[in-house]
Amino acid sequence: MFHRAKLAELDRDDAILETAADAADAARSSGTTRAAFLTRGGLMVGAGLGLGSLPIALAGAQGGLSSGDVRILNYALTLEYLEAAFYADALKRAGLRGNVLAFARTAHGDEQAHVDALKRTLGGKAVKRPRFDFMDATGSQDAFLRTAMTLEDTGVSAYQGQAPNIASRDVLAAAGAILAVEARHAAWVADLIGRGSDPSPAPDAFSPALDMNAVLAAVRRTGFIQ
């Protein structure tokens, strides 16, 4: 039976993301308490949102981004890199079938769309794509589903945790659009894992937020980022 895992349960070694550490240091030195984060979702399934909504919102922020918003967008970009790479690797290695394959294809397209929009917005300030190794997390359909559930849940909580720190209305609107679709991804995975079992597609009335330190600690322990 599947259970709703915490990201720490996927711990591997102590690989740490240098760009995240740099941003954390910058946040502390500037007095930002929860400097910046991220992740997950697709544009084409948001309620009332077309495929172009996120790029349009981010385009409005170009040229006027605060240093704090740049850090937040780079955290988002790093997590979107992670998710896009995870789905791409699973499509190659996990032997996905049927509805699970359809989900992975959709989620990969969504995450890649986020990567592209964030890179355009950040321009020369965008962090580079890290190298990834997902090991056995993409070695089978069952492992893929467990890991996707964890990544999507964590991304929702990470975006939620950083929303109060975003200065630009355009960036905040774009983050809300991503958050909504990340939540849809999480519910989709939970439904694929199975009705009547844990995780439920909607286990709680209120979604918990994660601050930067909690997310960075979890990412550090996965070993996915080389």
Length of the chain: 226
- At residue 156, the 3 state secondary structure works out as helix
**Using only C-alpha atoms, what is the Rg of the chain?**
16
Q: Domain boundaries in the chain?
A: 7-222
d(CA 68, CA 7): 26
Class of the CATH-defined domain 7-222: mainly alpha
| 133-151 confidence digits (pLDDT tens) | 999 999 999 999 999 999 9
Longest dimension (CA), the chain: 49
Q: Is the pLDDT of residue 18 over 80?
A: no
Residue indicated by tokens 């794509």: 129
Q: Which two tokens stand for residue 173?
A: 């609107």
Task: Give residue 7's pLDDT.
Answer: 52
pTM, to two decimals:
0.75
> Do 53 and 177 meet the contact criterion of CB atoms below 8 Å apart?
yes
pLDDT given for residue 206 in this prediction: 87
